[in-house]
Structure 1
Amino acid sequence: MRWPVKGRDQARLKLVSRLLRAMRAENAPEACGRRLLRDWLSAAQRAQFDADRCFDVTGSDSGKRYRICYGTAANIRELDRDGKEGTGWCFAPVGALVPGDVMLAQKIALETSEAAALALANRVPLIPRLTH
């Protein structure tokens, strides 16, 4: 038998329900992946990611700059000297990973083994990205 909830108890129940939903969302795989990614970003990269959902890295071999945008595929763009986006690249670890985990793997690969990462990558046509 369910007892009717009224007044202050109803308000408390709604508050607890919202709190539980927020806790579940905070512990969801995508949120955990985003937190791990942010922990590995420099302060400048973190600020860029928070503002634009992307961040720039420097390749370990060529010194070229790349922009990694939120996503799991075709989300890397090579930048020219003026910071303009050029060639698109697509590579990712094997498995069904959340965007934060994929982006962290891409960051580490480009910053430590750029040539090996690009040897496995596919070039993709530059498609203008949507901003949020």
Structure 2
Amino acid sequence: MFLFGRNVAQGARLRALYRSFNEQNGPEARARRLLREWLSPEQRAQFDANGFFEVAGSLTGRRYRIYQGTMSNVLELDEKLEPKVGWCFLPERALAIGDVMLAQKIALETDGAAVLAIAKSFSPRLPFVPRAVGRGH
């Protein structure tokens, strides 16, 4: 894009407009909107307030808390809703954060036993810092 004949302020405004458009319509924003559509009103309120939402496993009824992130972001909760064990599972392909969280939600709600059979467990007692992890291909 050439900005000959334009002043610096106009160029800065165009860049800001482009960034704003991308933030509202890029893959991360679309994935977040799709995730929110699939959340129940209670889950949406949890997610908005705390950055996580809880789901119940399909057959066992176990409670899981899914934090915003793509890896090591699922915690199984005990009867007191305290973290019992952490689970790490994610799609094979790199996806936007909201898409990964939606896949985790659907997997736990529809076939939790199969998911946990392939998931890696970790101790939730370690310092837990939910984060998005990028994967290079």
The bucket for the TM-score relative to the shorter chain is: 0.7 to 0.9
Q: 2:95 maps to what in 1?
A: 97
| Equivalent-residue separation in structure 2 for 1:72 and 1:4 (angstroms) | 42
Q: 1:116 maps to what in 2?
A: 114
Map 1:1-132 → 2, pairs under 5 A: 2-3=4-5, 5=7, 17-126=15-124, 127-130=126-129
Provide Cα deviations, 1:42-88, integer angstroms capped at 9, x if missing partner.
01111111111110000011101000011111110001111111100
Amino acid across the alignment from 2:5: W
Amino acid across the alignment from 2:112: E
Unaligned runs of 5+ in 1: none
| Equivalent-residue separation in structure 1 for 2:110 and 2:4 (angstroms) | 60
Identity of aligned residues (%): 49
Q: How many residues align?
A: 128
Q: What SS does the aligned partner of 1:45 have?
A: helix
Provide Cα deviations, 1:10-38, integer angstroms capped at 9, x if missing partner.
5x776555333211111221111111111
Structure 1 residues 73 and 4: CA distance shift in structure 2, 3 A: closer
Amino acid across the alignment from 1:114: G
Please identify the structure whose Cα radius of gyration is greater. Answer: 1
Amino acid across the alignment from 2:93: G
Provide Cα deviations, 1:74-127, integer angstroms capped at 9, x if missing partner.
110001111111100011111011111111000001001111111111111213
Unaligned runs of 5+ in 2: 131-137
CA RMSD of aligned residues (A): 2.3
Q: What SS does the aligned partner of 1:78 have?
A: strand
TM-score normalised to the size of structure 2? 0.82
TM-score normalised to the size of structure 1? 0.84
Amino acid across the alignment from 2:40: S
